[in-house]
Structure 1
Amino acid sequence: MIPRNPDAKDLISLVVPFYNESEVADEFFREVSLVLRNIAQADYEIVCVNDGSTDATLDHLLAACAADPRVKVIDLSRNFGKEAAMTAGIDAAMGDAVIPFDADLQDPPEAIPAMIEKWREGFDVVLGKRAERQTDTYAKRSTAALFYRVHNAISDIKIPVNAGDFRLMSRSAVDALKQLPENRRFMKGLFAWIGFRTTEIEYSRRPRAAGKTKFSGWKLWNFALEGMTSFSTLPLRIWTYVGGVIAAFAMLYSAYLILRTLIRGVDIPGYASIITAVLFLGGVQLIGIGVIGEYIGRMYVEAKRRPVYIIRKIYQKDDL
């Protein structure tokens, strides 16, 4: 591991997706700018991505951009989702180190200097690992833990537990990430897939500074499905085993019926047992078709090769 030159002045890029975050935007810039200004031997840029906000978020971003030349605002043409907005910001970031960051300030900006210190020691990726998640509800903590267990059990790519999008990536890691062509992007998995020398720092997550989360239970469920189907084919393969088990039981049951008929004669067929078997097998088949459909749907989206995002306009201080 080769340490970086301690006399070099580094450019740090903070990439921040914004979606209806007008309540927290001003506090975000106050806290983040204070931390970034005090990092030794470094300059910085804040790449803000307005992901189709319908409130006054863009106005707050443009005001910050007009006041600070180190703030860049990328205004997307509509709401493309956090993963696409993060991709847009990472694509536009010019820094030697790039840090995806949430606008709600639950991940503390004070952890950024520790990440930069680790990066300067020679690591390409520095994960921000949540030491505890007491600010989340019990249901969210439980379902998150279940997701990590299931995903890492069925996928060859292991996602670090309790590590979100908050991390530092070197320019080499960012350039590798930008080579991945997926349209449907599960960023936690893509971050893990590229590899590179990785370490982590722990931090305590804070309550949201203002506003409300934009992720409902339904969105989180779909996000989990996206993650599991993006990096594993086991959900498809498992239906081969399910079919084999059912076929084996069917063969055993048919052998039992033949023997019973030879010994006791022919019984009157039972309607209840027939309809139960038909409904059970029909349900199993529909579940299997649904899993196949999830993969076919993703193939359909990828085959169209639409862009991940569309930029309406990029704002910098000189343009305002």
Structure 2
Amino acid sequence: MKLSVVSTLYRSAPYIRDFCARVSAQARAFAGDDYEIILVNDGSPDDSLQLAISEHLADPHVVIVDLSRNFGHHKAMMTGLAHAEGEYVFLIDSDLEELPEWLESFARRMHEEKCDVVYGVQVERKGGRFEQVTGTWFYGLFRLVTGVALPRNVVTARLMSRRYMKSLVLHDEREFFIAGLWHLTGFDQRAEPVEKLSHSETTYTLGHKVSLLVNSITSFSSAPLVGIFYVGVTILVFALAYIAYAVYVRLTAATPVSGYTSLIASVWLLGGLMVSFMGVIGIYLSKVFVEAKRRPYSIVRDVFRRSA
């Protein structure tokens, strides 16, 4: 198999037919008849699965991986990659905001530069002011906390060599940040500027973005735990310095250091820090708990694939 195209389905019914037609045209130009289109149904509540099965019956190149429920976009993508058999793997979203026609330019770049991955980055981040600002602080905070410089405004679409893809799916984590894994896997990766379309408003609220940031950082780095140690040491140094100052004043001025308000403020400060630190530790403990149980990150209910 020369090429595998992998995509996920969730509320994708309006796009499936057009997506399959356009992807098939690009795949045929790239690999002749030696390709497959893997659609992972991530527990979509609409009729995406039925439409995908219709595409499979009409075109045996279309492979359907039906998950038992909704596991999330990132886990569905990893499941699809695990089922890919191609020498090259083209990962792309099915909502047509990312163009199937990018395959041609990605393949040309990969051939010219002999690299393992060509991935898309937005020339200008799509969406309104909220989308652009939150995207900027997401990558900025991630880099500040973890020290890892992820490509900014990266999209899902990427063309990968099989050796890269096989290394990527070796990550057997239950809670993961897939953009971090793309970067962590290494190999020779090149960015291709693209213009992503926007068919609708983003469904990611500020709360969702904060949750994603917390999950991304704690899944990819232990920096917050190290940060807790240094903050604790800093507080200890200031506390010792204040104690020394209070003793000095008491011995020299023969009067105690006053300040009931500052005392209460200090108690609230330390109490808040302790609770927040316990919360950070709790997040990591919960991830250890999830990983220790070794539950599968997705469950496949059925696979529709043509016979060999």
Q: Under a length normalisation based on structure 1, what TM-score does the superposition of the two structures give?
A: 0.89
Shift of 1:40: 6.0
1:261 equivalent in alignment to 2:253: no
Q: Could you tell me how far apart the structure 1 residues matched to 2:5 and 2:214 are? A: 28
SS in 1 for 2:123: strand
SS in 1 for 2:34: strand
Q: What 5-or-longer segments of structure 1 have no aligned partner?
A: 1-9
Q: Could you tell me how far apart the structure 1 residues matched to 2:24 and 2:142 are? A: 36
Q: Is the Cα–Cα contact under 8 Å of residues 152 and 158 in structure 1 kept in the other structure?
A: yes
Q: Is the Cα–Cα contact under 8 Å of residues 3 and 31 in structure 2 kept in the other structure?
A: no
Q: Could you tell me how far apart the structure 2 residues matched to 1:230 and 1:277 are? A: 32
1:222 equivalent in alignment to 2:202: no
Tell me which residue corresponds to 2:294.
305
Q: Could you tell me how far apart the structure 2 residues matched to 1:183 and 1:229 are? A: 13
How large is the Cα RMSD of the aligned pairs? 2.1
SS in 2 for 1:14: strand
1:128 equivalent in alignment to 2:120: yes
Tell me which residue corresponds to 2:133.
142
Shift of 1:312: 0.7
1:201 equivalent in alignment to 2:214: no
SS in 2 for 1:39: helix
Q: Is the Cα–Cα contact under 8 Å of residues 67 and 317 in structure 1 kept in the other structure?
A: no
Q: Is the Cα–Cα contact under 8 Å of residues 66 and 317 in structure 1 kept in the other structure?
A: no
- 2:64 maps to a residue whose letter is V
Tell me which residue corresponds to 1:48.
39
Relative to structure 2, which stretch is displaced further, 100-109 or 82-91?
A: 100-109
- 1:132 maps to a residue whose letter is E
Q: Which of the numbers 269, 275, 278 marks the counterpart of 1:280?
A: 269
Q: Which of the numbers 89, 100, 104 marks the counterpart of 2:95?
A: 104
Q: Could you tell me how far apart the structure 2 residues matched to 1:275 and 1:255 are? A: 19
Q: What 5-or-longer segments of structure 2 have no aligned partner?
A: none
Q: Which of the numbers 204, 220, 231 marks the counterpart of 1:231?
A: 220
Shift of 1:39: 3.0
Paired-residue identity, %: 34
CA 1:156 to 1:264, structure 2 compared with 1: closer, same or farther past 3 Å?
closer
Q: Is the Cα–Cα contact under 8 Å of residues 183 and 305 in structure 1 kept in the other structure?
A: yes
SS in 2 for 1:313: strand
SS in 2 for 1:13: strand
Q: Could you tell me how far apart the structure 2 residues matched to 1:212 and 1:192 are? A: 28
Q: How many corresponding residue pairs?
A: 307
Tell me which residue corresponds to 1:69.
60
Q: Could you tell me how far apart the structure 1 residues matched to 2:111 and 2:34 are? A: 14
- 2:84 maps to a residue whose letter is A
Shift of 1:158: 3.2
Q: Is the Cα–Cα contact under 8 Å of residues 236 and 291 in structure 1 kept in the other structure?
A: yes
CA 1:76 to 1:40, structure 2 compared with 1: closer, same or farther past 3 Å?
closer
